[in-house]
Amino acid sequence: MRMIISMSAAQRMRPRAALLSLLVLLSMLLPIPALAGDAAEAAARRAQEKHGGRVLKVERRGPDYRVKILKPSGKVKVVTVPGKDAAEGRPGADAPKRKQR
């Protein structure tokens, strides 16, 4: 007697779903600046160069960027980088703003 084994559509989709899930998980491991625009990426790079550590998050706050950095000590530091400096790639972009007199 001959047995015919047929795979259901759900069984055929399992490897595809597993591969898709793996790709989604791997994409979540990419650094945030790699997914951001050029100015946000520049802001993250400037903050990381000056303060070290790992960039956790880059947020646009009006014209500026707010960069969260995880320091090697385990503390999180929040740095504000002026948007125009990040976009122009000027040095010292994360320097504190000075009051105008």
Domain CATH number, residue 57? 2.40.50.140
Query: Would residue 68 count as lying in a domain?
Result: yes
Within 10 angstroms of residue 54's Cβ, the number of other Cβ atoms is: 11
Query: Would residue 9 count as lying in a domain?
Result: no
pLDDT at 93: 43
pLDDT at 94: 45
Range of the domain at 79: 31-93
Query: Would residue 77 count as lying in a domain?
Result: yes
Gap between the Cα atoms of 97 and 72, Å rounded: 26
- Residue 54, phi then psi, degrees to nearest 5: -115, 130
Whether 81 has a pLDDT exceeding 80, the answer reads yes
Mean pLDDT of the chain: 75
How many domains, the chain? Answer: 1
Whether 87 has a pLDDT exceeding 50, the answer reads yes
